[in-house]
Structure 1
Amino acid sequence: MTTYPAQGTSSAVSSGDPDGQGTSSSTRDQALAVLRALVGRPDAVFHDGQFEAIEALVDSNRRALVVQRTGWGKSAVYFVASLLLRARGAGPTLIVSPLLALMRDQVAAAERAGVRAMAINSANATEWDLVSAALAADEVDVLLVSPERLTNPSFRENQLPSLIQRTGLLVVDEAHCISDWGHDFRPDYRRIADLIAQLPATVPVLATTATANSRVVADIEEQLGTNVFTIRGPLARKSLRLGVLRLADSRDRLGWLLTHLAELPGSGIIYTLTVSAAEDTARLLAEAGHVVKAYTGRTDTMERESLEEALKNNQVKALVATSALGMGFDKPDLGFVVHLGAPSSPVAYYQQVGRAGRGSANADVLLLPGSEDAEIWRYFATASMPDRDKAMAVLTALGESVKPMSTPALEARVDLRRTPLELLLKVLAVDGAVRRVSGGWESTGQPWSYDEERYRRIAQARVDEQQSMIEYERMSGCRMEYLASALDDATAEPCGRCDNCTGRWFNAEVASGAADAAGDALRHAGLPLDPRAMWPTGMDRLGVPVKGKLKADELVSSGRALARLTDLGWGNALRAMFASGAPDAPIDPAMAHAVVAVLREWGQSGWEGAGRPIAVVSMPSRTKPLLMRSFAQAICEIGRLPYLGEMSLEFGGPTGSRGGNSAYRLAGVWERFAVGSELQALLASGPNGPILLLDDLVDSRWSLTVAGRALRQAGADQVLPLVLAQAG
């Protein structure tokens, strides 16, 4: 490994020659001409380290790693190198790029510089014939490929071999995703090591990132191969003014935004930790007259592109976003980044705040941490770690199958939801135990063992990162110095701009009217609860004789939930109520009145066309019986509805636990709820009309579906579910 610090003083470095052999002035002149065309400025010059990286690639065919702050110009390195290599007869550059937003920006930047760029990803996979024809005609200088394409059987077998043969330069953008020590590890990136191994030794390779500490750097270097030329520059962002404001609760945090959003410079991003928090915040701010939009993992691809353009063109004050808006979004004059809740590590925080001030002298960055942050961190950290038993179940299922298995088919054999199952399959594929083929997944037959020590160390690293984030929130020293030090930047020093260096630069006041408005919005309750309409695939393998659509006389109607556990408003109280070890207690009167408000609003909208409910039935609860009895009593008293009792538990009640996949959750509740004789008699003798079915917490919704089906079969016209909390 050769390391070039941006402030280096060795003769080889200062001459711009990583091998100490003397500078090629013609290469520098050519590179400078391309750079000036790229940025559209005749006086442009290279930043420290840019030309050195280009020269290592172009003149020495080296493997290089560039770790530089956002806005430094990493893309300029690979675009300039690409054109120089193309002029020397090399094939097109292959860029592995993780996000569609990043691809769109890179293609646009390439076109401005006269670079012929095309992309192949999940959004345009059908256009491969067009891309292939352009490659064959040598009309492509840069091809951007998503890492997920490397696992696609058709792409891997039919297109990748010929692409490797003609590649002139391989670029791995956001290379920290390679390392499972990184803050944004993606198993698909591990495929890149295999790709590098297939390249001829004469093909240069460049990896770039702004967020890699020494451990991640070492991991990336190991996967790039031997004799890696590494450039690490100072990571502190002088344009950013950092601050932290600790407020009592969500009401005050949203109140602060309502009070001060208009004062923040330009347009910016408001980050939240969950989808529901982003949607709730965007709705509150919009209702108060602010031009904001939500941007989350639920936002479809076309709408994301539209929202990104709106922010770039200053048509919105802010996008309220989850981490779905992260790497690759490029707005040089982004004026501010505010976090409602802290990311789980200083490195992830540095990456997100790095969206601001990339091309301007000043940008404001403020963190408003929440009391719920640690709980959210724990959930996501646990969800991303592979489980030994689940992994062995996947390998056993694939090993016993005579043909490839689709992911839905595997869900009937392994109790994992779709997203974590797909993540686990990718991890097993990288380890060589399974492979993705036409028709699904199959076992390779290679032995596999769970590396418990490795995952234990990664889990501990995650805990350490979380503690570091808490220290960042509470520290008295320079915040930018702390973030740069977290990335092992040896040049880290006090910034002289953050709230700890110069005093609080932001107004901490929360206007009483704004706090009240935020409180009212948070107290607003109710969200639709969609019914299940299709049985999961493969239920016969789990002993449940159903398939296809639910019959019309089995369906429950759309229902209502008070709130999601992740909501900013009632979510806090519900999380505490359903936390592990929380005592069973009667429903809080304020919560009961909020549920009645949900019922009133539901009634005004027409009860989904079913009509006003005529009676109440409740689900049995083995963990919260007191809560459920008081919940039913309160609804009956306030709504003046007769209580018909609760469903009966059969065969010991539901099996399994919350959080499993759809097929296993259905199997765990199938025929476990019944209409007892007393309830059946009441249904038969009472007036005909919709039944309100109460439950405390829903996840997969199969308990409500199975219980509601039983009620329909017992004679209920319609079943309207009403629950306190929805998971997720």
Structure 2
Amino acid sequence: MTDISPQNDLRTRAEAHLRDLAGPNAVLRPDQWTAIEALVVKRKRALVVQRTGWGKSAVYFVATALLRAAGAGPTVIISPLLALMRNQIDAAAKAGVHAATINSSNVDDWDRVRDDVAAGSVDLLLVSPERLNNLEFREAILPGLAKDAGLIVVDEAHCVSDWGHDFRPDYRRIRDLLDGLPEDTPVLATTATANARVSHDVAEQLGSDTLVLRGTLERESLSLAVVRTPDAPTRLAWLAERLRELPGSGIVYSLTVAGAEQTAEYLREQGHEVRAYTGKTDADERLLAERELLDNRVKALVATSALGMGFDKPDLGFVVHLGAPSSPVAYYQQVGRAGRGVDRAEVILLPGKEDTDIWAYFASMAFPPERIVTSALSLLTEPMSVPQLETHLDLSRSRLDMMLKVLDVDGAVRRLPRSKWEATGNPWVYDAERYARIAGERRAEQDAMLAYLDTTECRMAYLRGQLDDPQAAPCGRCDNCTGTRVEAGVSEAAAEAARGRLYKPGAEIAPRRMWPSGLGELGLSGKIKPESQAAEGRALAPNLYVGWGQRIRSLVEPDAPDGELPDDVLGALLELIKGWGIGRPGAVASMASGRRPELLASAGRRIAEVGRVPYLGSLAYRAGSPGSQFNSARRVSAVWGTLTVPEELAAALPEVRGSVLLIDDVVDTRWTLTVAARLLREAGAEEVVPLALALAG
């Protein structure tokens, strides 16, 4: 690498690159130049905490151009979202920087990209943090990148910290990467959403000599407001009536996948051009949705937090939240998508009564308790795959993956070829105090979010205060500062239409067709025989949070008394059956239940009575309900051999002409229904059609 040019000449060239990126009148901000100089000239490590739209990406694009001109190796950016990577590749080209990416969506391109990097034709390589936890990438690709990199960039660096609102276990691998860098490799970490605690934590991990540049978090274009509505139908009606009035195009955030999909569907029915965007959306559909929003071909994307960090649309005119995120920091990060290149953007939050229940659900996905982690480590004295572990540990797949990533980074387990894991034998202690502190911080964030809804102070100042911005001051634009409230009322027709949509009965229950892995000892593997499968079923509610879901939740929550099925729920179930088109069943049976046997039995009896078909009774458990399990293998193991068809019910099945309608309360994994259908069909049922009160999602 050649010597860097004198400072004045370097700044002149830096601003020339900036103008290529941002336009002919662009000038470097003082802190932008300070950061660039620290990276390019002094070869230091720097943390830049600046608001969205300030120009953090310009720092690493310009620094990359200068370093590459001096003969340095390529810049490696660790970037958390594919949407962010796509935006950065487009932006880099404007600055004369050739960018490429290695991520889970372009595995077929990896060899070509590696060859291009080796040939020197790639100036900037973007990788996801998940790649750092991929064995092949870590062993075959990463060492060379770390050795030859001219600059390492950690984007959205708050994810490194346990205290960051979007902490990711994969980001902890970055510490190992940084420790292995040549001493003079500059490192830049950037974020817009770090309070003092997170900033200190990240800077400490970068090194004691880290330059920290922290600016004001004021966003002059954002106009914040909170709109209180009495219920979910009114909230949806408000959005349907007001969406066209909102400026430009924007994002509507939902707390759940089901909520985003349901909202997008309803808005399209009402004539709005919108698309759903969630973690379940196909990768190609996500790319199309992003492009349509960027080109203003849709009014909005109805999204979960999957559309968050780094999505760059300068003229985004509004962000509306149907339901409050669980922390002011997360909220600030999401609303920061709006108003980067316009004078005014509307930011409106419509909280829901179900928000705290949704927060509690996501909080339950935290790091597992000590007994489960200890059990996992004892099991992994022999190499095991994740499906094998699932048969022993009562964790969902996502929680199990997260636990293994944390233990891997901590050195307690290691990933082996062929997707297996084993314990390393290194000392490891369950840090209960740390996990309790993190949980406590999360609860404090939730309390702070609830306080945001009720504050009479400036809303922007409140958010900036939560991020420890010392310059926080009244914005003069929010509903509290101006005293101007966003009208919460909706027309009666709009409210009725939204209520009809949210209370429209029916969500599909797809039949299971394959047994989970690792159940060979039960004689279960591979495909489920067609003659043993359930038919496609239906649930009254798609989740437990809106519409009929809220009503069902009041019946099935742990402290709810067991009793007869209420008339309104019966009516909705009958409406669902009528519109379903399955014809009259031959008989009705109900699922076994440890908590709500009367609720299910009464539902079965009353539906059979209206349909004038026999009610055959309930399935049963041999030794009490097996309780809740959180993964497929454990659920099948729990109910297999425990769930039974009583003699009287079994004796009646061969006489039934037609299907058996099987009534259940809340369906989660679908495995109890799957086992029940197999038992009923083996006992003589021609077909088993599930009907549930709700899905658990």
Which TM-score band (shorter chain)?
over 0.9
Q: Deviations over 1:371-391 (max 9, x none)?
A: 111111111112123321221
Residue in 1 that maps onto 2:355: 373
Residue in 2 that maps onto 1:203: 185
Of 494, 518, 525, the match for 2:505: 525
Q: Kindly indicate whether the alpha-carbon contact (under 8 Å) linking 1:242 and 1:480 is maintained by their aligned counterparts in 2.
A: yes
Of 676, 681, 685, the match for 2:646: 676
In 2: Cα distance, 1:375 partner to 1:659 partner: 20
Within 5 Å, which residues of 2 pair with 1:102-181?
A: 102-181=84-163
Within 5 Å, which residues of 2 pair with 1:337-376?
A: 337-376=319-358
Q: Deviations over 1:291-332 (max 9, x none)?
A: 111111110111001001111111111111110110111110
Amino acid at match of 2:44: R
Q: What percentage of residue pairs aligned between the two structures are identical?
A: 55
Return 134-143 or 43-52, whichever deviates more.
43-52
Q: 1:687 to 1:625 in 2, by over 3 A?
A: closer
Q: Kindly indicate whether the alpha-carbon contact (under 8 Å) linking 2:668 and 2:696 is maintained by their aligned counterparts in 1.
A: yes
For residue 565 of structure 1, report the CA deviation from its aligned partner: 2.9
1:633 equivalent to 2:605? Answer yes
Within 5 Å, which residues of 2 pair with 1:462-473?
A: 462-473=442-453
Q: Kindly indicate whether the alpha-carbon contact (under 8 Å) linking 2:255 and 2:305 is maintained by their aligned counterparts in 1.
A: yes
Residue in 1 that maps onto 2:633: 663
Q: Kindly indicate whether the alpha-carbon contact (under 8 Å) linking 2:515 and 2:525 is maintained by their aligned counterparts in 1.
A: yes
Of 562, 571, 576, the match for 2:540: 562
Counterpart secondary structure, 2:585: coil
1:410 equivalent to 2:389? Answer yes
Q: Kindly indicate whether the alpha-carbon contact (under 8 Å) linking 1:280 and 1:567 is maintained by their aligned counterparts in 2.
A: no
1:293 equivalent to 2:275? Answer yes
Of 397, 409, 421, the match for 2:400: 421
TM normalised by structure 1 equals 0.93
Within 5 Å, which residues of 2 pair with 1:251-650?
A: 251-399=233-381, 401=382, 404-439=383-418, 440-540=420-520, 543-603=521-581, 607=582, 612-650=584-622
Amino acid at match of 2:480: N
Counterpart secondary structure, 1:467: helix
Q: Kindly indicate whether the alpha-carbon contact (under 8 Å) linking 2:354 and 2:545 is maintained by their aligned counterparts in 1.
A: no
Amino acid at match of 2:534: V
Residue in 2 that maps onto 1:8: none
In 2: Cα distance, 1:436 partner to 1:459 partner: 28
Of 25, 29, 51, the match for 1:43: 25
Q: Deviations over 1:54-74 (max 9, x none)?
A: 011011001000000000010
Counterpart secondary structure, 1:367: strand
In 2: Cα distance, 1:379 partner to 1:369 partner: 17
1:697 equivalent to 2:692? Answer no
Return 72-81 or 43-52, whichever deviates more.
43-52
In 2: Cα distance, 1:247 partner to 1:584 partner: 31
For residue 659 of structure 1, report the CA deviation from its aligned partner: 4.2
Return 705-714 or 463-472, whichever deviates more.
705-714
For residue 687 of structure 1, report the CA deviation from its aligned partner: 3.7
1:24 equivalent to 2:4? Answer no
Q: Deviations over 1:575-612 (max 9, x none)?
A: 22222212223222111111111111211xxx3xxx64
Counterpart secondary structure, 2:253: strand
Q: Kindly indicate whether the alpha-carbon contact (under 8 Å) linking 2:274 and 2:302 is maintained by their aligned counterparts in 1.
A: yes
Q: Kindly indicate whether the alpha-carbon contact (under 8 Å) linking 1:179 and 1:185 is maintained by their aligned counterparts in 2.
A: yes
Counterpart secondary structure, 1:143: strand
Q: Deviations over 1:112-150 (max 9, x none)?
A: 221111000000122111011111111010000111111
Residue in 2 that maps onto 1:13: none
Q: Kindly indicate whether the alpha-carbon contact (under 8 Å) linking 1:276 and 1:566 is maintained by their aligned counterparts in 2.
A: no
Counterpart secondary structure, 2:499: helix
Q: Kindly indicate whether the alpha-carbon contact (under 8 Å) linking 1:274 and 1:566 is maintained by their aligned counterparts in 2.
A: no
In 2: Cα distance, 1:437 partner to 1:620 partner: 42
Return 510-519 or 363-372, whichever deviates more.
510-519
Of 220, 234, 245, the match for 2:202: 220
In 1: Cα distance, 2:209 partner to 2:150 partner: 19
Residue in 2 that maps onto 1:15: none
In 2: Cα distance, 1:691 partner to 1:506 partner: 52
In 1: Cα distance, 2:254 partner to 2:216 partner: 28
TM normalised by structure 2 equals 0.97
Amino acid at match of 1:433: A
Amino acid at match of 1:384: A
Residue in 2 that maps onto 1:246: 228
Counterpart secondary structure, 1:553: helix
Moved over 6 A (4+): none
For residue 640 of structure 1, report the CA deviation from its aligned partner: 2.1
Q: Kindly indicate whether the alpha-carbon contact (under 8 Å) linking 2:229 and 2:350 is maintained by their aligned counterparts in 1.
A: yes
Q: Deviations over 1:437-472 (max 9, x none)?
A: 312222111121110110111101000000000000
Of 37, 48, 56, the match for 2:38: 56
* Structure 2 residue ranges without an equivalent (≥5): none
Q: Kindly indicate whether the alpha-carbon contact (under 8 Å) linking 2:506 and 2:542 is maintained by their aligned counterparts in 1.
A: no
Counterpart secondary structure, 1:636: helix
In 2: Cα distance, 1:654 partner to 1:633 partner: 21
Counterpart secondary structure, 2:291: helix
Q: Kindly indicate whether the alpha-carbon contact (under 8 Å) linking 1:477 and 1:500 is maintained by their aligned counterparts in 2.
A: yes
Counterpart secondary structure, 1:115: coil
Counterpart secondary structure, 1:693: strand
Q: 1:594 to 1:48 in 2, by over 3 A?
A: farther
Q: Kindly indicate whether the alpha-carbon contact (under 8 Å) linking 1:653 and 1:669 is maintained by their aligned counterparts in 2.
A: no
Q: Deviations over 1:324-377 (max 9, x none)?
A: 110111110001000000000000000000010011111000000001111111
1:87 equivalent to 2:69? Answer yes
Q: Deviations over 1:371-421 (max 9, x none)?
A: 11111111111212332122112211111x1xx322222212222111110
Amino acid at match of 1:683: L
* Structure 1 residue ranges without an equivalent (≥5): 1-21
Q: 1:662 to 1:687 in 2, by over 3 A?
A: closer
In 2: Cα distance, 1:623 partner to 1:648 partner: 12
For residue 699 of structure 1, report the CA deviation from its aligned partner: 1.4
Counterpart secondary structure, 2:532: coil
In 1: Cα distance, 2:68 partner to 2:369 partner: 46
